[in-house]
Amino acid sequence: MNSSFAAERLLFTPATPSADAIPTIFAFPNEYSVGITSLGYQVVWATLASRTDLQVSRLFTDLHEPLPAQPELLGFSLSWELDYSNVLSLLEALDIPIRATERSSQHPLVFGGGPVLTANPEPFADFFDLILLGDGENLLGDFIAAYQQVRGSDRPSQLRHLAKVPGIYVPSLYEVSYLSEEGAIASIQPMESDIPAQVEKQTYRGNTLSASTVVTEKAAWENIYMVEVVRSCPEMCRFCLASYLTLPFRTASLEGSLIPAIERGLKVTDRLGLLGASVTQHPEFEALLDHLNQPQYDSVRLSLASVRTNTVTPKLAETLVKHDTRSITIAVESGSDRLRQLINKKLTNDEITQAAIHAKAGGLSALKLYGMAGIPGEEPDDLDQTVEMLRAVKRAAPGLRLTFGCSTFVPKSHTPFQWFGVDSQAEKRLKLLQKQLRPQGIDFRPESYSWSVIQALISRGDRRLSKLLELARHYGDSLGSYRRAFKQLKGQLPDLDFYVHENWSTEQVLPWSHLHGALPQSTLLKHLDSAMEHFPVASAKDVQIADAELVVAQP
């Protein structure tokens, strides 16, 4: 056995497969150390490996378990957009055609899931036979049960049967037509009357959330045991996929599942990670802290995902310091009150400053704030206010190491800001922030603007991108390789600006219009209307809804 697999400590018991178990490969399109750190991958693997009707082998880019000669199912968990190129490489290594239309009955059904594919599977649709949309808790069982019913059938019959299972999307059974080769989408229709016109993302509504199924020193986060404390986020910042796509906000039962899960994990490791988009908003978070502050947990090292600003108390800071954590991360987005109201970030500069004071008082040595440049409706004055807010935080908590990580706004599907493009001035704004913050002794860490452009391209992409993605991979996956691919495919699809920078009409058919997220489009439009109330009235950046279209007003 490979030494990486030998080092694993399992927190579940794999089943002994039955004689007629379905030979299955479950892949993560990256190295083992990255894949095994993904809680989603761990949980799905354990769910599959606990079934007697499946024979499951894991596959990573650098190592794999013994693989079946004739797999029937091949699954991918996709957590990062650019890992698509590794999906294609793994398919090639297994001698499986990368396009679903070129596969025959001798090839496995290639399925995918994970946050990237649930958000917008369309750029990758041609590479997958089927895509599982949403939470796996119920969906995985429904998928395997439905496959068992048609296991001996021909491939088209299998796909038609699976397409009728709620949450299972079979891209090849939907026809996309376009207003022109380089235009927007005209319509997305099922090819047969008994295929659902809308595919519903599946939502698990229980109060037992995920926890690690394996702990290993070979993981990118060495020996960490992860527990999902909350799922989704109640704040609903208007750009935020992590909130809108995964609604409703769900919390793990403290006594019923959270504490028992923590006890299980701490039998095999002393490193605990509490996960969730807004961990400290668990209604019983204080009680969880009290539990972890008991003497028997003194040696436990605790890591926390991003926390909400007004939940940073001296008690939280003291607990983290006691458990070997020296810093916390808070998403503040901006120092501008108007901009925060526009994006629905319920937060004041005073609360941010208070969080820093509490962090220092509790003994933390560093605070990382996350912000964003190029938010729709942003004015130069908003950036000045962000700089002033950071200066105020530094003054209020001298000696606390302050880091400001800043990304560029990227439109995400199923959010009220999905119709906005990336601000082409955002790169200049990141440089401006850098110029003003570095002399202040604030560690400024901008995310790559070029990466934001690619993220937006994939985030808003349609099926026409599959050729482009293949070419860009061939050219090396840099921003230059995407531009080169666009040039080569000119006339066959819209240009980069259409996908990345243009504001889209609220009446146009979106690439994911046939895939239902947590909220209907009518609700997203109401939330967009609420945001528009905070836009500057007359400026070159003024974006307004007129005749149900988003229009950029020219000066």
Q: Residues 284, 255: contact at Cβ < 8 Å?
A: no
Average pLDDT, the chain: 94
For residue 545, what pLDDT is reported?
Answer: 43
Share of the chain above pLDDT 70, in %: 97
Query: Which whole number is the average pLDDT over 326-347?
Result: 96
Question: What is the CATH topology of the domain spanning 223-458?
Answer: TIM Barrel (3.20.20)
| One-letter amino acid for residue 506 of the chain | T
For residue 1, what pLDDT is reported?
Answer: 65
The sheet carrying 168-169 orders its strands as 54-59, 22-27, 73-77, 109-113, 130-132, 168-169
Closest C-alpha to 408, from 387, 390, 431: 431
Q: Which of 118-127, 163-172, 304-313, 405-414 has the lowest mean pLDDT?
A: 304-313
For residue 477, what pLDDT is reported?
Answer: 73
Architecture of the domain delimited by 3-184: 3-Layer(aba) Sandwich (3.40)
Extract the tokens encoding 528: 């967009």
For residue 422, what pLDDT is reported?
Answer: 98
Q: Record the pTM.
A: 0.95
Tell me the three state secondary structure of residue 286.
helix
Q: Where are the domains of the chain?
A: 3-184, 223-458
Please determine, for residue 308, whether its predicted confidence score (pLDDT) is greater than 50: yes
| One-letter amino acid for residue 250 of the chain | R
pLDDT digits 0-9 by tens, 250-302: 999 999 999 999 999 999 999 999 999 989 999 999 999 999 999 999 999 99
Query: Which whole number is the average pLDDT over 451-479?
Result: 94
Q: How confident is the model at residue 478 (pLDDT cuts 50, 70, 90)?
A: confident
Neighbours of 237 (CB within 10 A): 22
Torsion sign (Cα): 236, 239, 241, 242 = negative
For residue 3, what pLDDT is reported?
Answer: 86
For residue 201, what pLDDT is reported?
Answer: 96
Please determine, for residue 543, whether its predicted confidence score (pLDDT) is greater than 80: no
pLDDT digits 0-9 by tens, 71-116: 999 999 999 999 999 999 999 999 999 999 999 999 999 999 999 9
pLDDT digits 0-9 by tens, 213-248: 999 999 999 999 999 999 999 999 999 999 999 999
Extract the tokens encoding 254: 């403290």
